């Protein structure tokens, strides 16, 4: 946004009764958890029966025409070649209701319908780009963002010969058959920027690009093999993906095949800036670089790099979290540009690495500059297992080995907890520069898998289910046209099918006028981010907040596998009383991450259909607040819930995505994410932005893993100051605003235990829409507060922008950012609670 500001100044968003017998004993059994469920069904039944006796009667959705999930995959469906992925076969009736041609516009596009052949011989480039661009979509350098033309561009099994970049337009998901991922085969003559270029430079455009990097939202690429091995090894054109993106983006399940020749210049992912984002479940074979990256922040989970020269090169960042990284037979695992401590010389601000396995790689981590004696780029290593890795941390400029690795005699080594940067504890503001081991945090076992790593779970795609296992909400009367009240139709589909079918929310904008309950046990799959929006008087009173979408009954034992993917939850304004999503579900015992959301966002205002657009809520409005309330709270995770949230963007818009020029808007949502959960909760690559009172608030919460979390304060604050135009509501545990000209808390933690925050980017870019305070690093005085009553709270890689204090205890500033200047942001490498 803010078109005229220079790169680093750009902010992100810029950034049973009967039912229970049946459903427990017979179904709700996804194939991947069959065994776990079977062994647990006794205890689930018991808790279900308890639930009933506790409640007397159940308000859960009784299902008289019970149907059941197949207890094992449909024959032939695991063996992919026999039958295509369900997504290819399902009836395509997704709609973009706000498109200028709502009836004719196609959301789902199979590249073969646009002339692609997929035989590895025909050049399919033009056909694929036709599938992407047809029907007047947003891109090409003239349109920077739009929500009215979403698309899934689908690739059946096959090999697609590519001679020039595939250019995904705004709001595009490129999805390959998940059973046998298609190959994008770069032709020997391939000469473009990358096989897939998510943000092309306009030829002769003086550096201009299709999209503003920090506003390049809503993109996903899934299930591909990208093979550049035919491109001569010395050519950098052998690049898989140019991924210069921002929030609500993901790369999932992609294999990059590159030359392993000594002179290889191939690279898997190339990214020079942006404000991401999540990527995971990626494999890189060969290449000069697996990932070459510069971006404000990113979360990377489960990548494997084999036989590359450098696994990950890091040009610059304010903070990236790497979870579950594997390097095999590389020369260097992480090569990190460091030492740039001013805005102008920004290099890698914070590299925060958890659960790494490194094998036969001479150097695990190399920093470009030394950090002896003082902060020069924060580095955290937690639980790295090295086998035949002689140098764990090395400095390129002087060859110093800062942390030794293995030796010929001792060929394996585990690094439990090693850091380079400033370490703090409790309410002491004294920085202790540390280049060495620090006490490892105690990680609650419920957050870990059987190998002791933080749990990760890939975005469910149901590749082993056939199309018969799905029901479409449109087939059962939901309209999704942005106008019709779909409350009853959607509720009926959930009530009838939640325990036995995967529910397909065909692309559309579904309006609900009262609380919609998504029962525990539901698998809900959206299409190019189908929208569910709360609208009307039920959601307008901030003194009587009402839930728009309730996932699982609140006080019931909502303990079943529950998965939501590719959906956007929102409101149609005004909606001062809307709690957009209330999350009550609990994973079954023994099924880690059994209740979660992937690539599912809460996105408020700033898009067609929300009635909270630039015309109603311009940047400098003079009237009352009333028309511009977007929500009371975005996400509430209740005490008995568990949750796995991956790539969840909780965004109150700062600009209108459908306005030419991306003009700013001023809208109001009270609260971001409130968690009272006892855990386990995993927040992997989540963000919460622009809410008035706080972005993340943990109250009496336990057992949370959060990495990386990213926030921004509202740009208008402190005019009005917190909590205006809301009020502090004790019933919802609102934290007390800090003294002075108060802006939102990015993070508040109260009376909580066993909280591991592994990477945080908490940003404040404005005072009353002015960015002058960025230069003086004081847009607000405080930004994160942890109560002294909380215990075993560990924060690693905390990068803040323009908050005088980076961390407070009991609302009193403790860590002064001056002591941790690390480029544009200031970085605390470790803070741990006093108890």
Give φ, ψ of 751 to 5 degrees: 50, 40
Q: Which is nearer to ligand NAG, 147 or 435 (CB)?
A: 435
Cβ contact 169:151 at 8 Å: yes
Cα–Cα distance, 742 to 785 (Å, whole number):
13
Rounded CA gap, 19 and 26, in Å? 10
Alpha-carbon gap, residue 671 to 734, rounded angstroms: 8
CA distances from 525 to 267, 565, 566 (A): 32, 5, 6
Q: How many C-beta atoms surround the C-beta of residue 716 within 10 A? A: 22
CB of 622 to ligand NAG, least distance (A): 10
775: contact with ligand NAG by CB under 6 A:
no
Is the preceding peptide bond at 632 cis, omega within 30 degrees of 0? no
- The answer to whether 34 contacts ligand NAG (rule: CB under 6 A) is no
Reduced to 3 states, what is the DSSP secondary structure of residue 474?
Answer: helix
CA-derived radius of gyration, the chain: 25
CB nearer to ligand NAG: pick between 292 and 831: 292
Cβ proximity to ligand NAG, 474 vs 690, nearer residue: 690
Among residues 392 and 580, whose Cβ is nearest to ligand NAG? 392
Binding segment for ligand NAG (CB under 6 A), chosen from 18-26, 107-115, 366-374, 819-827, is 366-374
41 and 25 in contact (C-beta within 8 Å)? yes
Compute the distance between CA of residue 594 and CA of residue 718 in angstroms, rounded to an integer. Answer: 40
Closer residue to ligand NAG in complex, CB, 370/526: 370
Q: Are 193 and 223 in contact (CB under 8 A)?
A: no
When asked if residue 196 is in the footprint of ligand NAG (CB under 6 A), the reply is: no
433 lies in the binding site for ligand NAG (CB under 6 A): no
Give the integer Cα–Cα distance in Å for 677 and 753.
Answer: 11
CA distance 666 to 7: 23
Task: Tell me the C-alpha distance between 106 and 705, whole Å.
Answer: 39
207 lies in the binding site for ligand NAG (CB under 6 A): yes
- In the range 449-488, which residues lie near ligand NAG by CB under 6 A? 456, 458
397 touching ligand NAG, by CB under 6 A: no
Single out the residue of 768, 771, 788, 791 in contact with ligand NAG (rule: CB under 6 A): 768
Question: Is position 743 an interface residue for ligand NAG (rule: CB under 6 A)?
Answer: no
Least Å from the CB of residue 708 to ligand NAG:
18
Nearest to ligand NAG of 718, 737 (CB atom):
718
- The nearer residue to ligand NAG, 402 or 524, going by C-beta atoms, is 402
| Closest separation in Å from C-beta 45 to ligand NAG | 29
Nearer CB in complex with ligand NAG: 419/549: 419
**In terms of CB distance, is 52 or 74 closer to ligand NAG?**
74
| Nearest residue to 748 (alpha-carbon basis) of 696, 800, 680 | 696
Q: Is 122 in the site for ligand NAG (CB under 6 A)?
A: no
User: Which one of 225, 283, 415, 687 is in contact with ligand NAG (CB under 6 A)?
Assistant: 283
When binding is defined by CB under 6 A, the residue of 64, 398, 450, 776 that contacts ligand NAG is 398
Q: Does 374 bind ligand NAG (CB under 6 A)?
A: no
Site for ligand NAG contains 730 (CB under 6 A): no
Shortest reach from residue 280's CB to ligand NAG, in Å: 7
As a whole number of angstroms, the distance between CA 337 and CA 396 comes to 9
Candidates 84, 277, 340, 370; binder of ligand NAG (CB under 6 A) is: 370
User: Phi-psi category of 786—alpha, beta or left, where left has phi over 0 and alpha has psi -120 to 50?
Assistant: beta
Closest CB to ligand NAG among residues 321, 787: 321
Helix (H) or strand (E) segment spanning residue 297: strand 297-306
Residues 292 and 824: their CA atoms lie apart, in Å, by: 20
Query: For the window 59-98, what string marks contact with ligand NAG as x by the rule CB under 6 A?
Result: --------------------x-x-----------------
By CB under 6 A, tell whether 163 contacts ligand NAG: no
- The site for ligand NAG, by CB under 6 A, has a size of 22
Q: Give the contacts of 344 (CB within 8 A, at least 6 positions apart).
A: none
> Of 479 and 593, which CB lies nearer to ligand NAG in the complex structure?
593
Asked if 664 contacts 655 with a C-beta cutoff of 8 angstroms, the reply is yes
Alpha-carbon distance of 327 to 43, in angstroms, equals 40
CA 181, CA 177: separation in Å to the nearest integer? 5
Local structure of 24: helix, strand or coil: helix
- Using alpha carbons, list the distances in angstroms from residue 599 to 221, 409, 460, 809: 11, 46, 10, 33
Residue from 18, 126, 400, 812 touching ligand NAG (CB under 6 A): that is 400
Q: State both tokens at 694.
A: 């706080």
Residue 52 to residues 56, 60, 209, Cα–Cα distance (Å) = 6, 10, 58
Stretch that binds ligand NAG, among 97-105, 370-378, 547-555, 707-715 (CB under 6 A): 370-378
Contact window for ligand NAG (CB under 6 A) among 365-373, 465-473, 523-531, 547-555: 365-373
Which of 79, 86, 78, 179 has the alpha carbon at shortest distance from 468? Answer: 86
Say whether residue 751 binds ligand NAG (CB under 6 A). no
Per CB under 6 A, the list member of 253, 422, 487, 826 interacting with ligand NAG is: 253
Distance CA 394, CA 397 (A): 9
* Region binding ligand NAG by CB under 6 A among candidate stretches 181-189, 232-240, 368-376, 437-445: 368-376
C-beta of 226: minimal distance to ligand NAG in Å?
Answer: 13
Instruction: Please answer whether residues 364 and 342 qualify as being in contact, where contact means their C-beta atoms are separated by less than 8 angstroms.
Output: no
Give the nearest distance from C-beta 140 to ligand NAG in angstroms: 17
Residues 620-639 that bind ligand NAG (CB under 6 A): 620
Q: Which of residues 211-240 bind ligand NAG (CB under 6 A)?
A: 213
Which one, 18 or 721, has the nearer CB to ligand NAG? Answer: 721
* The one segment of 121-129, 369-377, 785-793, 814-822 that binds ligand NAG by CB under 6 A: 369-377
Among 719, 727, 775, 835, the residue binding ligand NAG under the rule CB under 6 A is 719
Do the beta carbons of residue 400 and residue 394 sit within 8 Å? yes
143 contact partners, CB below 8 Å, separation of at least 6: 137, 170, 660
Binding of residue 139 to ligand NAG (CB under 6 A)? no
Nearer Cβ to ligand NAG (511/802): 802
Give yes or no for residue 201 binding ligand NAG (CB under 6 A).
Answer: no
What is the DSSP track for 627-663?
Answer: GGEEEEEEEEE-TT--EEEES-EEEE-SB-TTSTT--
**What's the closest the beta carbon of residue 398 comes to ligand NAG, in angstroms?**
4
Contact characters 290-329, ligand NAG, x per CB under 6 A: ------------x---------------------------
Nearest to residue 213, comparing CAs of 264, 272, 262, 156? 272
DSSP 143: -
- Binding residue for ligand NAG, selected from 32, 123, 234, 272, defined by CB under 6 A: 272
Q: Cα–Cα distance between 699 and 424 in angstroms, integer?
A: 23
Token pair 């750009």 is found at 10
Binding mask 586-625 for ligand NAG (x = CB under 6 A): ----------------------------------x-----
Residues in contact with ligand NAG by CB under 6 A are: 7, 79, 81, 207, 213, 253, 272-273, 281, 283, 302, 370, 372-373, 398, 400, 456, 458, 620, 719, 768-769
């Amino acid at each position: 946004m803010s078109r005229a500001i220079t790169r680093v100044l750009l902010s992100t968003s810029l950034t049973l009764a009967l039912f229970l017998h049946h459903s427990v004993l017979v179904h709700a059994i996804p194939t991947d958890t069959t065994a776990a469920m079977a062994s647990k069904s006794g205890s689930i039944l018991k808790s279900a029966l308890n639930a009933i006796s506790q409640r007397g009667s159940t308000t859960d959705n009784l299902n008289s025409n019970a149907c059941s999930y197949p207890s094992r995959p449909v024959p032939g469906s695991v063996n992919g070649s026999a039958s295509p992925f369900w997504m290819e076969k399902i009836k395509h009736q997704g709609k973009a209701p706000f498109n200028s041609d709502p009836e004719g516009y196609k959301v789902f596009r199979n590249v073969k319908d646009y002339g692609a052949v997929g035989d590895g011989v025909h050049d399919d480039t033009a056909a694929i780009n036709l599938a992407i661009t047809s029907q007047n979509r947003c891109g090409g350098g003239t349109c920077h963002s739009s929500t009215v033309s979403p698309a899934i561009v689908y690739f059946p099994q096959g090999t697609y010969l590519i001679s020039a970049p595939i250019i995904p337009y705004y709001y595009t998901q490129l999805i390959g058959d998940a059973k046998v991922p298609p190959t994008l085969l770069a032709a020997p003559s391939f000469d473009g920027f990358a096989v897939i270029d998510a943000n092309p430079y306009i030829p002769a455009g003086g550096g201009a690009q299709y999209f503003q990097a920090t506003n390049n939202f809503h993109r996903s690429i899934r299930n591909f093999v990208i093979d550049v091995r035919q491109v001569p090894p010395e050519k950098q054109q052998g690049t898989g993906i140019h991924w210069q993106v921002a929030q609500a983006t993901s790369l999932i399940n992609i294999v990059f095949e590159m030359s392993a020749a000594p002179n290889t210049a191939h690279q898997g992912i190339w990214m020079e800036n942006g404000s991401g984002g999540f990527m995971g479940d990626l494999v890189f074979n060969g290449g000069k670089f697996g990932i070459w990256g510069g971006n404000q922040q990113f979360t990377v989970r489960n990548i494997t790099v084999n036989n590359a020269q450098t696994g990950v090169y890091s040009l610059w960042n304010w903070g990236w979290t790497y979870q579950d990284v594997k390097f095999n037979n590389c020369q260097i695992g992480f090569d990190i540009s460091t030492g740039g401590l001013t805005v102008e010389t920004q290099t890698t601000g914070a590299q925060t690495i958890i659960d790494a396995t490194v094998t036969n790689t001479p150097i695990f981590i190399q920093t470009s500059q030394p950090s002896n004696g003082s902060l020069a780029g924060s580095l955290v290593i937690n639980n790295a297992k090295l086998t035949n890795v002689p140098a764990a941390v090395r400095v390129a400029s002087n060859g110093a080995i800062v942390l030794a690795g293995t030796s010929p005699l001792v060929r394996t080594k585990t690094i439990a907890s090693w850091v380079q940067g400033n370490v703090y504890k409790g309410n002491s503001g004294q920085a202790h520069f540390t280049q060495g081991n620090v006490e490892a945090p105690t990680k609650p076992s419920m957050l870990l898998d059987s190998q002791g790593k933080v749990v990760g779970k890939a975005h469910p795609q149901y590749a082993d289910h056939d199309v018969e296992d799905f029901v479409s909400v449109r087939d059962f009367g939901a309209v999704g046209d942005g106008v019709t009240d779909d409350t009853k139709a959607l509720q009926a589909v959930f009530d009838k099918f939640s325990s036995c079918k995967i529910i397909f929310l065909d692309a559309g904008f579904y309006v609900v006028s009262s609380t919609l309950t998504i029962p525990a046990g539901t698998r809900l799959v959206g299409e190019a981010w189908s929208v569910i929006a709360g609208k009307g008087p039920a959601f307008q009173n901030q003194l009587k907040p009402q839930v728009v979408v309730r996932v699982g009954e609140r006080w019931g034992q909502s303990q079943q596998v529950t998965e939501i993917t590719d959906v956007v939850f929102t409101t149609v304004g005004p909606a001062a009383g809307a709690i957009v999503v209330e999350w009550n579900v609990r994973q079954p015992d023994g099924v880690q991450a059994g209740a979660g959301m992937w690539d599912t966002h809460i996105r408020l205002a700033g898009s067609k259909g929300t009635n909270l657009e630039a015309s109603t809520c311009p940047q400098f409005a003079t009237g009352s607040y009333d028309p511009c309330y977007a929500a009371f709270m975005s996400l509430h995770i209740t005490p008995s819930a568990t949750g796995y949230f991956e790539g969840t963007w909780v965004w109150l818009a700062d600009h209108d995505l459908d306005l030419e020029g991306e003009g700013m808007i001023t809208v109001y949502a009270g609260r971001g994410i409130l968690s009272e959960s006892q855990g386990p909760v995993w927040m992997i690559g989540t963000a919460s932005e622009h809410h008035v009172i706080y972005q993340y608030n943990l109250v009496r919460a336990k057992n949370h893993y959060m990495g990386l979390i990213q926030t921004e304060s509202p740009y208008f604050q402190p005019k009005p100051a917190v909590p205006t135009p809301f009020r502090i509501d004790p019933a919802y545990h609102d934290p007390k605003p800090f003294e002075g000209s108060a802006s939102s808390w990015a993070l508040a933690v109260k009376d909580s235990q066993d909280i591991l925050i592994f990477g945080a980017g908490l940003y404040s870019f404005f005072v009353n829409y002015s960015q002058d305070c960025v230069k003086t690093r004081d847009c607000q005085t405080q930004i994160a507060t942890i109560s002294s009553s909380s215990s075993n709270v560990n924060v690693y890689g905390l990068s803040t922008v323009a908050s005088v204090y980076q961390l407070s205890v009991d609302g009193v500033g403790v860590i002064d950012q001056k002591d941790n200047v690390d480029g544009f942001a200031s970085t605390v490498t470790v803070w741990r609670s006093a108890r």
